[in-house]
DNA sequence: AAAAAACTTGACCGTATGGTCAGATATGTA
DNA sequence: TACATATCTGACCATACGGTCAAGTTTTTT
C-alpha cells in the first residue's frame, strides 16, 4: 500500500496522484473550509474515486495537514527574503509587494490559511509558535537595528509585521467585501492597493 | 407555534429563549464555523433540547442568518459615527479606537463575520452590496472633502477604510497567530496596537 | 510471458446530524 | 377551576459522510 509512507521513494503514479489530490483539496478546502468539505468533493474535483483518495491519504485530516504544510513553506518565503544590508524602506516595500502579489496569485492559499487561523490553528499551532515565531524574532531584530541606526523611524516591529500581513491578505481573504464596496469594476483592487500600502508604510517609516 | 413569526408580538418566553439561543449560537458558530457547528452543540450550550431550538427557529441556517443580521448592526455603528465637522485626524483615530475596542470586546462577532466573508458572504452579500456600500460611499465623500480642503493628505479613501478594517480586525481574527508570535505575555497586543495604528494612520494623513 | 506489486473501485458499514412528530407539560386566560 | 394556547421533549427517520474491504485492473519487475 502507498499510504503513510515515511521516507520511502515514491512511484511515478504516487507523485502524480498525490499532486492531483492536493491541488483538488486546496480548491475544495479553501472554498468550504475543513468541515464543509467532503472527501467526495475532493474526489470529484480530482477525477478519482473516494477509495482511491483514501489509498493515498489515511484520512481527510491527513489531506488537510499536508495541504497546510505545503502552503506554509511558500507562505513564509517573502519574509525570509528581508535583507538587513539593503535599503530599509526598499526592503519593506518589496516585502509588501511580494505579499500583495501572493494574495493576488494565491487567494486559495490565503483563504485556507485564514480559515485555519480563525479556527484556532488546530493543525499549525506548533509551526506558529516555532518556525514562524523564530523567523519573526529574527526579522524584528533587523527592524530594531534599522531604527537604532536612524535609518527608519521608531516603530514597534511586531505590529509593523501584523499590519503588513493584515492589509495585504485582506485583499484575498475579504475579496468579496472589497469588491462589493468598490463595485465600480473599472479598477482591480490589487492595482490600487499596492501604491496605497507602499505609501502608507513608507510615510510611517521615513525618519 | 412560535417559529417563522412575521411581525407578530413575541411572548416573554419567546424573547428570553430567542436571546439565549442566539447567544449560544454566536458562541458555537464563531468557534466552529457554520458547517462545523451542530444544532446539538447550540442546544447544549443554551441548556435547551434540540427540538426546542427548532421550535424557535425553522432550521440551522435561520439561526445563522439571525445571528449575522444582529451582528451587522453593531458592526457598522462606528462607521456611522464619523462626523465631517470634527477634526479629521481625531475622527479617524476615534474610529480606529472604536474598531479596535470592538475587536477586543467582541471577538466572537469579528470571527463569525470573517468566516462569513471568507466563504463568499453567502448570507450577507446583499447587505454588503447595499447598506455597507452606501454607507462607505457616504464616508468616502467626507474623506475626499477633507483632502480637497487640505485638512488631510491625499489618500485613496476606499483603501484607507480597508486598511483600518484589516489592521483592527486582525487582532481578533488572527488572535492565535498574534499571540504565538509575540508570546511574551507581559503585554496585551491590543494595548500596544492602539498607539501603533493611530500613529501609522495619523502620519499618513497629516498633510 | 508470467509473477509480483501497485493501483483502482463498487458495494458496504457505522455514526453523526438535520429535522419531524406525537404527545406531555407548563403557562396564560375566561 | 377549566379551557386554550404556548412550550417542551423522547423517540424516531432519512441522509450524508468518513472510512473499510474484497475483488478487479493496470503497471512494473523478473
Q: Same structural domain for residues B187 and B87?
A: yes
Examine residue A2 and state whether it is found in any structural domain, yes or no.
Answer: no
Q: Same structural domain for residues B31 and B95?
A: no
Q: pLDDT tens-digit profile of B82-92?
A: 999 999 999 99
> Among B36, B58, B80, which residue terminates a domain?
B58
CA-wise closest residue to A127 among A186, A194, A68, A180: A68
| Residue A89 distance to chain B (closest CA, Å) | 15
Q: Same structural domain for residues B76 and B161?
A: yes
Mean pLDDT over each residue of chain B, to the nearest integer: 94
Q: Same structural domain for residues B43 and B132?
A: no
Round to whole Å and give the CA distance between B188 and B100: 13
Residues contacting residue A98 through CB under 8 Å, at least 6 positions apart: A78, A81
Examine residue A5 and state whether it is found in any structural domain, yes or no.
Answer: no
Q: Same structural domain for residues A73 and A147?
A: yes
Examine residue B86 and state whether it is found in any structural domain, yes or no.
Answer: yes
Q: Do B121 and A177 make contact, defined as CB atoms within 8 angstroms?
A: yes
Mean pLDDT over each residue of chain A, to the nearest integer: 94
Q: Please name the nucleotide lying closest to A63, CA to C1'.
A: D18
Please give the C-alpha separations between residue B31 and each of A120, B23, B36, B38, B120, in angstroms, as whole numbers.
8, 13, 9, 12, 18
Q: Specify the range with the lowest mean pLDDT, choosing from A183-187, B77-81, B181-185.
A: A183-187
Per-residue cell: A108? 486559495
**What's the confidence (pLDDT) of residue B9?**
64
Q: Same structural domain for residues A51 and A143?
A: no
Give me the CATH number covering residue B22.
1.10.10.60
Q: Specify the range with the lowest mean pLDDT, choosing from A72-81, A139-148, B4-13, B51-60.
A: B4-13
Nucleotides of D under 7 A from a protein CB: 6-11, 16-22, 27-28
**What's the confidence (pLDDT) of residue B7?**
47
Examine residue B6 and state whether it is found in any structural domain, yes or no.
Answer: no
How many domains does chain B divide into? 2
Round to whole Å and give the CA distance between A158 and B181: 8
A36: contact with B, CB 8 A cutoff? yes
Examine residue B7 and state whether it is found in any structural domain, yes or no.
Answer: no
pLDDT band at B6, cuts 50/70/90? very low
Would the pLDDT of B150 be above 70? yes
ipTM above 0.85, yes or no: yes
Examine residue B64 and state whether it is found in any structural domain, yes or no.
Answer: no
Q: Please name the nucleotide lying closest to A50, CA to C1'.
A: C9
Select the more confidently predicted residue: B20 or B186.
B20
Q: Same structural domain for residues B85 and B170?
A: yes
B197: contact with A, CB 8 A cutoff? yes
Q: B56-62 long-range contacts, Cβ below 8 Å, gap at least 24?
A: B56/B2, B56/B3, B56/B14, B56/B17, B56/B18, B56/B21, B57/B3, B57/B21, B58/B3, B58/B4, B60/B34, B61/B123
Q: Same structural domain for residues A50 and A78?
A: no
Q: What is the mean pLDDT of residues B64-75?
A: 95
Examine residue B155 and state whether it is found in any structural domain, yes or no.
Answer: yes
B32 chain-A contacts, CB cut-off 8 A: 35, 119
Give me the CATH number covering residue B200.
1.10.357.10
B83 touches strand D (CB under 7 A): no
B83: contact with A, CB 8 A cutoff? no
Q: Same structural domain for residues B84 and B124?
A: yes
Out of A171, A196, A204, name the one closest to residue B200 (CB). A204
A199 chain-B contacts, CB cut-off 8 A: 155, 204
Domain containing B27 equals 12-58
pLDDT over 70 percentage in chain B: 95
Going A125 to A101 to B99 to A30, the CA torsion angle's sign is: negative
Examine residue A3 and state whether it is found in any structural domain, yes or no.
Answer: no
pLDDT band at B5, cuts 50/70/90? very low
Q: Extract the residue ranges of chain A whose pLDDT is less than 50.
A: 1, 3-6
B70 CB neighbour count, 10 Å cutoff: 14
Would the pLDDT of B3 be above 60? no
Q: Same structural domain for residues A127 and A49?
A: no
Q: Same structural domain for residues B52 and B87?
A: no
Q: Same structural domain for residues B51 and B120?
A: no
**What's the confidence (pLDDT) of residue B201?**
98
Amino acid at each position: 500500500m502507498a499510504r503513510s509512507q515515511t521516507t520511502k521513494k515514491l512511484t511515478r503514479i504516487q507523485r502524480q496522484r498525490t499532486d492531483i489530490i492536493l491541488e483538488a483539496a486546496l480548491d475544495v478546502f479553501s472554498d468550504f473550509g475543513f468541515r464543509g468539505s467532503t472527501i467526495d468533493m475532493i474526489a470529484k474535483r480530482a477525477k478519482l474515486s473516494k477509495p482511491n483518495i483514501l489509498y493515498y491519504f489515511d484520512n481527510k485530516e491527513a489531506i488537510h495537514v499536508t495541504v497546510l504544510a505545503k502552503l506554509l513553506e511558500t507562505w513564509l518565503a517573502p519574509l525570509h527574503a528581508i535583507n538587513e544590508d539593503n535599503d530599509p524602506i526598499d526592503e519593506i516595500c518589496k516585502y509588501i509587494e511580494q505579499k500583495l502579489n501572493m494574495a493576488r496569485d494565491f487567494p486559495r492559499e490565503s483563504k485556507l490559511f485564514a480559515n485555519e487561523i480563525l479556527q484556532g490553528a488546530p493543525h499549525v499551532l506548533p509551526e506558529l509558535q516555532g518556525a514562524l515565531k523564530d523567523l519573526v524574532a529574527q526579522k524584528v531584530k533587523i527592524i530594531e537595528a534599522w531604527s537604532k541606526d536612524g535609518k527608519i523611524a521608531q516603530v514597534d516591529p511586531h505590529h509593523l509585521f501584523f499590519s503588513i500581513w493584515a492589509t495585504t491578505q485582506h485583499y484575498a481573504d475579504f475579496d468579496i467585501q472589497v469588491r462589493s464596496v468598490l463595485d465600480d469594476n473599472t479598477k482591480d483592487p490589487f492595482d490600487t492597493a499596492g501604491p496605497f500600502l507602499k505609501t502608507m508604510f513608507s510615510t510611517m517609516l521615513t525618519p
